[in-house]
Structure 1
Amino acid sequence: MNERKKVNLPKPKSLKKICDNLWRECCRARAGYKSELSGDTKILQIHHIVNKPNNRLRFELLNGICLTRAEHIYGIHSRDTVIANKYRKRILREIGMGRYAYLLAFRKGIYKTDLKAVKIYLEEQLKIIKGE
C-alpha cells in the first residue's frame, strides 16, 4: 500500500495574533519607540491600561501605553501593591482622566469584532503613525 507522508508545514499566525502584533507596533511607534513614563528606550513592552475583557478594548490604540520591560514587570505587575499602585497612578497622570474614562466605557460592553477589519484598520493606523 502506498502511504503518503504528512508534510508538517508551519501554521500561519492566527489573525488575532497578527492584530496583537500590529497593535503593539502602533503603540510603540506612537510613543516614538520610548517609554511614555521615563523616556527610556531599553527593552519596550506595551501595557493595556484597562483590562481587556473584549476585543474592543484589546485593540483600542488609546488603551496601550509603551513602557520599559522593568516598568511593566517590576512596576505595573509588581507583587508589592504599593509599587504597583504608584505606577498605575503615574500612568493615570500621563494619560489623563478623560482618556481613562473613555476606556472604562468599553469595559462592560459586548462587541462583535471582525478581526479582518481590525487588521486593516491597524495597518492603516501604523502607516499614519509612521508618516508613510
Structure 2
Amino acid sequence: MTTTPFRTLDETITVAGQIRPSDVVEAAAAGFRLVINNRPEGEEPGQPAAAEIEAAATAAGLSYVAIPVDHSGMRRDQVDAMKAALEGASGPALAFCRSGTRSTFLWAFARAELGDSPADLIAKAEAQGYNVRPLFG
C-alpha cells in the first residue's frame, strides 16, 4: 500500500505528493492510465529519478509525461502541456509533485481553459485540501 496519499480531484485526475515506483504499480491496479510528473529532477535529496518513475509506468502499461514545475512558478507552456496531457489521456491520470499543490494548480489552470467553471474547480480542490482560489481572484 502506498504511503503517499492519493487525492481525487475529479473522475479524470488524482494528485499526490512524491510517488515511488511501487506507487505506480498500485496506481495501475487502481485503473489509472497516465502518470504526470510535475516535479523537477533533483528537487530534494532521496527523491526518485524521473527515469525510475517513467520506467515503472511503462512496465505497468501506463502512459507517462513529465511537466516539471520549479520554484519560479508556472509558465504558459506548462499549462498547455497539462491541458494536452489531460485531453489525450485514455483514462484517469495520477499527477504528482512534492505535495500535490503544483499538480492541482496546473490541473485548475488547464481545466479552466477547457471551460470548467472556476467555482467548480475551487470546490473540487478544496474538498481535497488544496486552495486554488488565488488563481481565479
- TM-score grouping bracket, smaller chain normalisation: under 0.3
Structure having the higher Rg: 1
Greater per-residue strand proportion: 2
TM, length-normalised to structure 2? 0.27
TM, length-normalised to structure 1? 0.28
